[in-house]
Amino acid sequence: AAIFSFTAASCVAYAGRSLRAYADEDGTTGWTLDIPGDVAGALVAHASGDVLLATRQGHLLRIHATDGTQVYRTELGMEVVHAPAATRDLIVVNGANESVVGIDAGSGSVKWRAGTSGHALTAPALAPDGKLVLVGDQEGRVHALAIADGKIAWSHETGASILAAPV
């Protein structure tokens, strides 16, 4: 279980296969939503105030934090083991099957898929300039992919498995 604050008046928590919103002032439950699988990593707050989550079973969900309504659910076609990373316009998911997927944050449609050379061991990390996303793999490579199209801008061999997200 984990708890994440999304607004000044409420927080959202997940336990098992459900999300719950609680009022900060008294802890009353605002809404509950069953989710189609186990949360991969953590919940992510989108710039819109919505909740983003990926499931280990390969779903990406965008949920309104205020009322728990599902904006969309995208089938990714891959196992996911880490939380996504998001800009205002794009959500990036690093799959366990050597794939990284860029999803349009507004519609939930897949914009691009990119292959990496190894199984993902890290969550994706956004570069400060917002132009690249970095992922690491078990073969010891860090890959920088262009946010715009998912093309690999560069890769670097580290000599050891990448066990934490690049910063």
- Contact between 64 and 45 under an 8 Å Cβ cutoff? The reply is no
Q: Give 20-40 pLDDT, tens digit per residue.
A: 888 877 888 888 999 999 998
Q: What is the per-residue burial (b if ≥16 Cβ within 10 Å, else e) of 70-103?
A: ebeebebebbbbbbbbbbeebbbbbbbebbbbbb
Mean pLDDT in residue range 106-127? 86
Confidence band of 167 (pLDDT split at 50, 70, 90)? low
Please state, for a pLDDT cut of 90, what percent of the chain lies above it.
Answer: 45
